[in-house]
A and B are shown apart, each in its own frame.
Chain A
Amino acid sequence: MPSQFTFGDIESICIRLGVARAQKGSMLWRGVGSDGLYRQTTIHSHGDGTNVSPSTARKMAEQLKFKDVEDMYDFLNNRHRKS
């Protein structure tokens, strides 16, 4: 079964990576992680529980410097991973 993310999942991944909303009300999230890498992505959510479409999740995984969507899913479920 393909990895499925909600916008809440993406926000929690971003926060763990040191990526936060750029400004109040902004849809651009950005930040430098403990690995020294700058990351940015767009979060335009219709609610934390709303699913992220597969193409969007794939692009977010690229922007957040994961190998692919499965790697991002593993990061979501493995609290010990730092990046």
Chain B
Amino acid sequence: MMQMFSASIARDRFAELRREALNGQEILIEDGRQLNSPLISIIATDLLDSLTDSFVFAPKWEEDKNGSHTVSLEEIDIIGYGETLEEASEVLATAASEYAELYFSELSFYLSPMVNRLAHYPYLRRIARCNGDINKVKKVLRV
């Protein structure tokens, strides 16, 4: 059974709940003033990182007759291209990093029914955790 607390109790016992979350517990918080309000979770970042690590990118490469390269990530609808593999990888990683930054700064837009890109969340979280380091992004993207 998962532990659930009202927001006010969680605030008073935050140090204790944080320790429990670091030990792997997921702590659920409800808004004590509203019935059936959506819950939020406190969960260890390392644990969440491990969980999202299973969202693995599978870049698809194509080479044209002129030797240029195109690479695409269907998981997040991003492409890169260039005259060399290195340039295409760099463009892909930069575009993916820009997308992750935009996504998390405009979450309500990307999660809205019109755009509906919830499925990109775990993949883009992995990119966002690279904090703009393009070499780390390339590693995550496997390019």
Q: Which A residues have a C-beta under 8 Å from some C-beta of B?
A: 22-23, 26-28, 30, 32, 36, 38, 40-42, 44, 53-56, 58-60, 63
Contacts and interface: CB of A to CB of B under 8 A. Distances in A.
B127 to A, nearest CB: 13
Interface stretch (B3-11, B37-45, B65-73, B135-143): B65-73
A53 B137 CA distance: 25
Given A22-B98, A53-B70, A40 B81 contact: no
Given A56-B81, A59-B70, A63-B77, A36 B114 contact: yes
B95 A27 contact: yes
B99 A40 contact: yes
Contacts of A44: 80-82, 91, 95
A42 B81 contact: yes
Given A56-B68, A56-B70, A59-B72, A32 B114 contact: yes
Nearest 3 pairs of A and B residues by beta carbon: A55-B70, A55-B62, A42-B95
Interface residues of B, number: 24
A27 B91 contact: yes
Contact of B68 (A26, A28, A53, A63): A53
Contacts of B72: 59
B78 interface: yes
Nearest to B82: A44
A23 B77 CA distance: 18
Contacts of A30: 102
A28 B80 CA distance: 10
A26 B97 CA distance: 11
A40 B68 CA distance: 22
A55 B63 CA distance: 7
Contacts of A32: 114-115
Given A27-B98, A42-B78, A56-B70, 13 more contacts: A23-B98, A27-B91, A32-B114, A38-B114, A40-B77, A44-B81, A53-B66, A53-B70, A54-B64, A55-B69, A55-B70, A60-B79, A63-B77
